[in-house]
Structure 1
Amino acid sequence: MLERYEKVKEYVYGQYAKIYNEDLKIAALTHTASVDLSITFIAMARGTNLERAKVAALFHDYAQFVDNCPHSQHAKLSSLHAYKYLKECGLFKTTEIDDITYAIRQHSKKESFDSPLCEALKDADVLARFLENPEKPLVGMKRQRLLNACADIQSH
């Protein structure tokens, strides 16, 4: 069922393995895995396409780790990396690529509401950050996203 996801995961983690800075490599692997696991629960609870959600999770911070780009540019650049890879690998339809890359591009805009896949990715990112450091306070929309994600997972 998730064969395409597995191929994407192999590619992304292969690229992360090449990161020279050990701290950055660990952050890439840890955070990507956390978002991937979080989005699995959220997508299943909400009926969002699981494979697209998990692929979006793999690439959502890709440029931040591989290019070490400024945080303000990482969502846009990560979506471009994802688009290039997903187009070249030939495993995904154009509509799927558009859905995935749009979610990646929008995932930093936590204050706005968007497509179901965007919302799942935003919420998975917040949930993952919380799980990585539960003592870091979450306020405003990030706190609300965490509460909504947990409620959806619990009710499923």
Structure 2
Amino acid sequence: MNRVFQIQERYLAEIARFENTSMIRDISLNWEKIHMASCAAVGRILALKRGVDAELSAIACSIHDYGRIITGKQYDHAAVGYDPLKLFLAQSGYFTSEEIELLAKAAQNHSNKKEIGSPLEEIVKDADVFDCYQYGLPLEREEQRVRLKSILEELSH
């Protein structure tokens, strides 16, 4: 199996650690599982279209909400997840230190939808927005709606 499958399998095991706890969560763990897989698929498609590493893009999209998994909270989850995500990725043994930093930075910066980041960061931001859109979740911030419009235009060509 490839690294996308391997890290998603580990991510699902991480989610499972929280399933029978009394932690009050802002977002259900069922959504986290669905979002992980569908975001990865969207990220791979965007990466292929943009000429970015499709495997790393799918992985980054899979794990971008790690901070929310471990805290249960939406607020500041991207920043809070940075160091724990680096540890999670390092413990997997699948990535170089450079890849770990790229993946963790993409997760850390994915909530900053107004800012333009690395190509990998942009894929995570765009896949996140598109995935929420495809499941009918509200895009409450203007920068999310602007991104969605741009993504839909890109995918129509």
Please state whether the residue corresponding to 2:94 is helix, strand or coil: coil
The 10-residue stretch of structure 1 (14-23 or 81-90) with the greater mean CA deviation from structure 2: 14-23
CA distance in 2 between partners of 1:62 and 1:139 (Å): 22
* 1:43-122 correspondence runs (5 A): 43-69=47-73, 71-122=74-125
| Map of 2:153 onto structure 1 | 151
Q: Deviations over 1:6-52 (max 9, x none)?
A: 11111001122332269722121122223122212211111111111
Aligned to 1:20: 20
Query: How many residues are aligned here?
Result: 152
For structure 1, the 5+ residue unaligned runs are none
Q: If each structure's helix is expressed as a fraction of its own residues, which one has the higher value?
A: 1
Q: TM-score, normalised by structure 1?
A: 0.85
Structure 2 unaligned regions, length at least 5 = none
Matched, 1:125 2:128: yes
Residues 111-156 of structure 1: CA deviation (Å, up to 9, x unaligned): 111100011100111001111116x35663212211222233333x
Among the aligned pairs, what percent are the same residue?
24
- Give the Cα–Cα distance (whole angstroms) in 2 for the partners of residues 137 and 86 of structure 1: 30
Which region of structure 1 is more displaced relative to structure 2, 104-113 or 85-94? 85-94
- Whether 1:11 and 2:13 are equivalent positions in the alignment is no
> Retained in 2: the 8 A contact 1:16–1:65?
yes
Conservation of the 8 A alpha-carbon contact between 2:15 and 2:29: yes
Equivalents in 2 of 1:44, 1:53: separation in Å?
Answer: 9
- Structure-2 change in CA distance of 1:96 and 1:46 (3 Å): same
**C-alpha distance in 2, partners of 1:73/1:96?**
23
* Bigger relative contact order, structure 1 or 2 (CA pairs below 8 A, ≥6 apart): 1
Query: What TM-score do the two structures reach when normalised by structure 2?
Result: 0.85
- Is the 1:63–1:77 Cα contact (8 Å) retained in structure 2? yes
Q: Which amino acid aligns with 1:152?
A: E
